[in-house]
Amino acid sequence: MKSGRHFLDLNALDSESLRSILTQASVFKESTRAQDVSLLEGRVLALVFERPSTRTRISFQVAMLQLGGQAVVLSLEDSQLGRGESMADTARVLSRYVDAIVIRAMKHKTLLELAEYAEVPVINGLTDLSHPCQLMADIMTFEEHRGPISGRVITWSGDGNNVARSWIHAAIRFGFELRLACPVSLSPDAKLIEWAETEGGCVTLTHDAKVAAAGADCVVTDTWTSMGAEATKSRRQLLTPFKVDEALMSFAKPDALFMHCLPAHRDEEVASSVIDGENSVVWDGAGNRLHAQKGILSWCLT
């Protein structure tokens, strides 16, 4: 790499680096300093999308603009990627034009291929296996509302998907207890839970959402059908017992937060009364994508 560093996954980074990104993110959020406006002056970020996005795309574009740089967006349909040009070749070419690349990839191995061949920092904007930018915003949001997340209990109820996997990474790096409640066939890879154990973390998997939610400080869920998955009737049936509704929230602490990376499907994975309720921090979480990603960009590029 010419200069800078990749932001590929939380488990690939140490706790100190992640904490420094969040500290910087909060400084950006609070700041009206003129020097922020010129931090990335003259820098250009490429955003490559193999899947749709609202939050990731706009928050990275706005982050670059507010830090003095610019962003360009490339999607499969309007680039040679859609006609089969390899990610390795795309990485070599983009590295001659831009200072960093964010990618939302269908397959995690595409992210790794991009990172291997790019000469500029690469940021994971979601793959089938993880969503680390989301987690940085989620940790920031929890801590703004409830103080340090270390030692607290977070419950994941639903599909053991890419976001759930990043919550596992986060539990280890930020030192909180994570209880996952997922259907047997939609649980995260056992190897990842084993990894958490070898790291000395407290990550447990159950198939009973109530057990996982008991006394929790925060309950989190996500769509039942991630991009690339098939929305089948059996999937819906499997996930129905993991819906986050008021009955499930009643097992958590009375002031337990509710989080969701969005987009949400009201009255499917989450009851309207929960996502629109007073302990839901989903809009703050979405807003913090902007600030957390400024922290990530600044860590990658300066």
Q: Considering CB distances under 5 to 8 angstroms, the limit depending on partner class, which of ligand CP, ligand NVA, none binds residue 161?
A: ligand NVA
Q: Binding-site residue total for ligand CP (CB under 6 A)?
A: 8
Query: Which region, judged by CB under 6 A, interacts with ligand CP, from 4-12, 29-37, 39-47, 53-61?
Result: 53-61
Per-residue DSSP letter, 76: S
Instruction: Report helix, strand and coil shares of the chain as percent, to nearest 5.
Output: 45, 15, 35
Q: Considering CB distances under 5 to 8 angstroms, the limit depending on partner class, which of ligand CP, ligand NVA, none binds residue 204?
A: none
Q: Considering CB distances under 5 to 8 angstroms, the limit depending on partner class, which of ligand CP, ligand NVA, none binds residue 54?
A: ligand CP
Beta strand segments in 166-284, E: 177-181, 202-206, 218-221, 257-260
**Distance between CA atoms of 30 and 15, rounded to whole angstroms?**
23
At residue 109, what are phi and psi to the nearest 5 degrees?
A: -65, -25
Among 11, 24, 53, 61, which residue sits at the site for ligand CP (rule: CB under 6 A)? 53
Using CB under 6 A as the binding rule, the residues of this chain from 226 to 285 that contact ligand NVA are 226-227, 261
Given the residues 289, 291, 293, 300, the one annotated as active site: 289
Q: Draw the binding track, 134-173, toward ligand CP (x: CB under 6 A; -: no contact).
A: x---------------------------------------
Pairing of strands 257-260, 218-221: parallel
Identity of the residue numbered 217: D
Residue 133 annotated among the catalytic residues of the structure? no
Residue 70 annotated among the catalytic residues of the structure? no
Taking Cα atoms as reference points, which of 249, 253, 250 lies closest to residue 275? Answer: 249
Query: Which region, judged by CB under 6 A, interacts with ligand NVA, from 17-25, 27-35, 137-145, 220-228?
Result: 220-228
CB of 261 to ligand CP, least distance (A): 4
**Distance between CA atoms of 240 and 59, rounded to whole angstroms?**
32
Q: Considering CB distances under 5 to 8 angstroms, the limit depending on partner class, which of ligand CP, ligand NVA, none binds residue 226?
A: ligand NVA
DSSP bridge pairs for 153? 177
Task: Decide: is 222 part of the binding site for ligand NVA (CB under 6 A).
Answer: yes
Is the preceding omega at residue 263 within 30 degrees of 0, hence cis? yes
Radius of gyration of the chain (CA): 19
Residue 99 annotated among the catalytic residues of the structure? no
Task: Decide: is 163 part of the binding site for ligand NVA (CB under 6 A).
Answer: yes
Using CB under 6 A as the binding rule, the residues of this chain from 256 to 295 that contact ligand CP are 261-262
Taking Cα atoms as reference points, which of 161, 95, 154 lies closest to residue 127? Answer: 161
Residue 265 annotated among the catalytic residues of the structure? no
Q: Give the nearer residue to ligand NVA in terms of CB position, either 99 or 159.
A: 159
Per-residue DSSP letter, 280: B
User: Strand order in 257-260's β-sheet?
Assistant: 202-206, 177-181, 153-157, 218-221, 257-260
Q: Which residues are catalytic?
A: 104, 131, 134, 222, 261, 289
Binding site for ligand NVA (CB under 6 A): 126, 161-163, 222-223, 226-227, 261
Binding site for ligand CP (CB under 6 A): 53-56, 126, 134, 261-262
